[in-house]
Amino acid sequence: MFVGQPPEPEFVHLKLCENPAFARTCGFTIPQTGKPARQTDIPGLRKLQQFDQIMTENELWTELALDQVADNLRNGTVQAESTLVHDTTHYHAYSTMKVVDLDSPQQETETATEPQAASRTSQQPQRVTVGGPAVEVGRVSVVRVPLDTLDEQTQQEYRKNKAAEAAGEQSTDTQSANAQPKEDAPKTKTKKAKKTPKKKRKSHPRTPKNCRCSDRKHCDHAWINADEGAGTVVKSTGKMYWAHKASTLSFADQEVLLDAVALSDAASHDSQSLAPHLSRLLSRHPDLKGMVTRVLDDGAADDPALKSEIKTTFDIELLAPINPRRRGPIRDDLPRGIDHLTPRGVPVCQAGFPFELLGFRQETERFIFTAPETTLGKSVFLGCAFRGDCYRGESGGRRVTIAAGRLPWLDRDFPQLSKRFGKAMARRTGIERIHKLMKFDHGDDRLTKRGTSSFQARLDKTLLAMHVLLAHEA
Look up the CATH number of the domain holding residue 434.
Answer: 3.30.420
Residue 154 in this model has a pLDDT that exceeds 90: no
What is the CA 170 to chain-centroid distance, rounded? 57
Same domain, 302 and 436: yes
Same domain, 277 and 306: yes
**Predicted local confidence at residue 394, as pLDDT:** 66
d(CA 155, CA 175): 31
User: For residue 394, which of 378, 377, 375 has the smallest C-alpha distance?
Assistant: 378
64 compared with 172, residue with greater pLDDT: 64
Confirm if 452 and 262 have CB atoms less than 8 A apart: yes
Same domain, 277 and 297: yes
Q: Does any domain span residue 353?
A: yes
Q: Does any domain span residue 145?
A: no
Kindly state the percentage of the chain with pLDDT values over 70: 80
Strand, coil or helix: what is 116?
helix
Average the pLDDT over each of 16-30, 91-105, 183-197, 267-281 and give the range with the smallest value.
183-197
- Residues 220-244 have a mean pLDDT of 88
Q: Does any domain span residue 407?
A: yes
Q: What does the pLDDT look like over 191-223, one tens digit per residue?
A: 556 666 777 777 888 888 888 888 888 888 888
User: Would residue 266 be called left, alpha or beta, if left means φ above 0 and alpha means ψ between -120 and 50 degrees?
Assistant: alpha
**Predicted local confidence at residue 125, as pLDDT:** 54
Q: Does any domain span residue 71?
A: no
Q: Does any domain span residue 193?
A: no
Q: What proportions of the chain, in percent to the nearest 5, are helix, strand and coil?
A: 40, 20, 45
Structural domain containing residue 394: 338-415
Strand, coil or helix: what is 136?
strand
Same domain, 357 and 309: no
Confirm if 274 and 297 have CB atoms less than 8 A apart: yes
Q: Does any domain span residue 179?
A: no
What is the CA 439 to chain-centroid distance, rounded? 20
Q: What does the pLDDT look like over 264-284, one tens digit per residue?
A: 999 899 999 999 999 999 999
Same domain, 245 and 273: yes
Number of compact structural domains in the chain? 2
Same domain, 311 and 437: yes
Same domain, 234 and 306: yes
User: Would residue 34 be called left, alpha or beta, if left means φ above 0 and alpha means ψ between -120 and 50 degrees?
Assistant: left
Strand, coil or helix: what is 42?
coil
- Residues 457-469 have a mean pLDDT of 95
pTM: 0.76
Q: Does any domain span residue 52?
A: no
Same domain, 378 and 347: yes
Q: DSSP letter at 3? A: T
Same domain, 285 and 316: yes
Kindly state the percentage of the chain with pLDDT values over 90: 55
Other Cβ atoms within 10 Å of 60 Cβ, number: 13
Residue 425 in this model has a pLDDT that exceeds 90: yes
d(CA 292, CA 82): 4
Confirm if 241 and 90 have CB atoms less than 8 A apart: yes
